[in-house]
Structure 1
Amino acid sequence: MIDWLNKMISLGIFVTTPLEILGFVTGAIYVYLNTRQNVISWFFGIVNALLYAAVFWQVRLYADTGLQGYYFFTSIYGWWMWKFGGANHEELKVSLTPKKLYPVFAAIFVVGSILWGFLLAKFTNASFTYLDSALTIASLIGQWMLARKYLENWIIWILADACYVVLYFYKALNLTAFLYFVFLILAMIGYVRWRRDVLRV
């Protein structure tokens, strides 16, 4: 079963594996449903995290592998928050990020990127240690903001996804790079849709 999932196949211009294809499909569904504020998105987030943990481990993007574990648990958290995290345990509504959190996010990004990049460079054979680490920390922040339905999560995803497209093409994860291009477009759509909800309040 594992050998079949990792068998190289050609899809037009893409050389990929069934494992990466499954990650592509579940990832696209997950982000699309997020833009629609559909709570079922988190189920696909859980499945996608498990699939991509295996994909990234095989190409030595260890920071991204670890990130999938975080996605797994925050998908469970996000599922609960979206369903019961609002007033009186009702559905959570879209809101702006509290300004007091911005310096906290900035500190986490700078310190986390440097520390995680240093550890990967010193103790592993990881590729693009500091870039991978910076994108990982940005994704940690963006995912938590998404679970809390903060509008600005989409801005973080727009920036991170644009960088990921380049990184994954370089690592020959062509289908995943295309997926992150789709994520980039969906993040733009998500920002516009969620902003409308904030403006209605």
Structure 2
Amino acid sequence: MKSILSFATAVCLWLVLVAPVYAGGNIAAGQAKAGICAGCHGPDGNGGADPAWPKLAGQDPDYIAKQLADFKSGARKDPIMSGMAAPLSATDMKNLGAYFASLKAKPGAASDALLAKQGQKIFRGGNATMGVSACMSCHGPSGHGIPPRFPKVSGQNTAYTQKQLLAFKAGNRANDSETMTRTAFRLSEQEIKAVAEYMAGLH
């Protein structure tokens, strides 16, 4: 009986110690740093007033940390985010990733059913004529991503997704493997708009 109690005590202690840690980051420490992020990403990580700003709630923690590191190094360019990331340490980035990953993502919705239907074909089947693979082959059938390399794209703001795909297409963003650059380059602007609309309603 003593051994069972000792084991149960050890498990409870382990849970108490590990609970604040998420993928190498500390949720509480991340929350303490995240106050300034709320203005653009929302107090719950589900986006601010501008739909061109991304939702971060429920995103893969390592992906968030990588993007922050890329903003700091200049591998990914954005005048606002570069300034925000500049004072962050690698530990800060992991903590922020853990915090936002721990938040519950609110489901999004497509606003144009016809456009979303066009996007569904690309997301699920790609475009063989242009040599574009199905988006779900990397981001999963429900758009929840395949961590740590491929991020969650479901429920994301249409305007943000469209902006990023256009940046990949133009070569203005090249920090996430050549796959996205090649894929976006082969998509038309209409197809980009459609797939962004479809992914907004995935959850």
| Greater C-alpha radius of gyration | 2
Asked if these proteins are the same fold (TM beyond 0.5), I'd say no
Q: Which has the higher helix share?
A: 1
Instruction: Give the TM-score range, shorter chain.
Output: under 0.3
TM-score by length of 2: 0.27
